[in-house]
């Protein structure tokens, strides 16, 4: 793991860079954190991605702005920084190909969605993967949070894979299920994986509360993510 920075206009964005130990070129992933940020619970899941043979750039929005984890309000500037991160990642000499994939969780799923659609990065991104993404504007009203999905999904065209647990809260997964249906109806390659016996955060829950089902879901999701990314970054 290496701590790096990149510039987006006059803002210096902090980030973590993970890559395999063996020198060479590898497929590239931008990983975007959610409300939890990048901490001792979430950074290992980014490391697991790199261990499967990827260069992974993980922008740290909260570290950049010296903010606490778990913010209530969302700052739209984050999505611009994600979009710039895609450009920066593609400029690296140790990546394969001319596209990357994005992987995210929770609110990071909204940030990457906005980066792809609003900031027009779909031509540079081969696939979108997200774990229980927040597929609605976090600053929207309660009614919209529950009963509507982010309008950007009407314009998302890249292959998409999403993971959720069956015990996640209904109001959180309803926009996801509706959004997946919208993508499929538009002919987008979109798949929703629902893991039985687990809830939200199954992929990074700490040891003292983890279950065997969490471990199984995490292993399967990591394998599916790696295979999906490789498929689209050939």
Q: By C-alpha distance, which of 102, 88, 70, 116 is closest to 11?
A: 88
The end-to-end CA distance of the chain, in Å, is: 25
CA-atom Rg of the chain in angstroms: 16
How confident is the model at residue 208, as a pLDDT?
87
Cα–Cα distance for residue pair 30/99, rounded to 1 Å: 11
Domain harbouring 107, CATH code = 3.40.50.1820
Domain that holds residue 16: 2-232
- The tally of domains found in the chain comes to 1
Q: From first to last of the 234 residues of the chain, give the pLDDT tens digit.
A: 999 999 999 999 999 999 999 999 999 999 999 999 999 889 998 999 999 999 999 999 999 999 999 999 999 999 999 999 999 999 999 999 999 999 999 999 999 999 999 999 999 999 999 999 999 999 999 999 999 999 999 999 999 999 999 999 988 999 999 999 999 999 999 999 999 999 988 988 888 889 999 999 999 999 999 999 999 998
Distance CA 100, CA 233 (A): 7
Q: Give this prediction's pTM.
A: 0.96
For residue 234, what pLDDT is reported? 85
pLDDT tens readout for residues 34-78: 999 999 889 998 999 999 999 999 999 999 999 999 999 999 999
Interior CA angle at 6 toward 115 and 160, to 5°? 30
What three-state secondary structure class fits 150?
A: coil
Q: Residue 16 corresponds to which tokens in the numbers above?
A: 């973590």
Contacts of 149 (CB under 8 A, 6+ apart): 135, 136, 175, 176, 178, 179, 182
Please report how many Cα atoms fall inside a 13 Å half-sphere around the Cα of residue 234, on the Cβ side: 4
């Amino acid at each position: 793991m290496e701590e790096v920075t990149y510039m987006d206009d006059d803002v210096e964005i902090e980030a973590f860079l993970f890559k395999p130990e063996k020198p060479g070129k590898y497929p590239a992933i931008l990983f975007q954190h959610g409300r939890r940020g990048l901490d001792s619970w979430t950074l290992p899941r980014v490391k697991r991605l790199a261990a499967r043979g990827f260069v992974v750039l993980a922008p740290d929005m909260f570290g950049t702005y010296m903010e606490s984890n778990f913010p209530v309000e969302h700052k739209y500037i984050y999505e611009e920084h994600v979009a710039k991160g895609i450009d920066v990642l593609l400029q690296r000499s140790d990546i394969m190909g001319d596209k990357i994939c994005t992987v995210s969780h929770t609110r990071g799923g909204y940030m990457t969605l906005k980066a792809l659609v609003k900031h027009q990065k779909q031509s540079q991104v081969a696939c979108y993967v997200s774990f229980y993404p927040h597929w609605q504007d976090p600053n929207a009203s309660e009614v919209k949070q529950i009963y509507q999905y982010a309008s950007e999904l009407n314009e998302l065209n890249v292959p998409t894979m999403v993971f959720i647990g069956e015990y996640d809260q209904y109001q959180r997964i309803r926009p996801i299920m509706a959004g997946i249906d919208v993508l499929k109806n538009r002919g987008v390659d979109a798949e929703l994986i629902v893991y039985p016996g687990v809830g939200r955060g199954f992929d990074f829950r700490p040891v003292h509360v983890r279950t065997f089902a969490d471990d199984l879901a995490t292993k399967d999701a990591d394998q599916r993510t790696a295979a999906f990314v490789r498929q689209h970054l050939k």
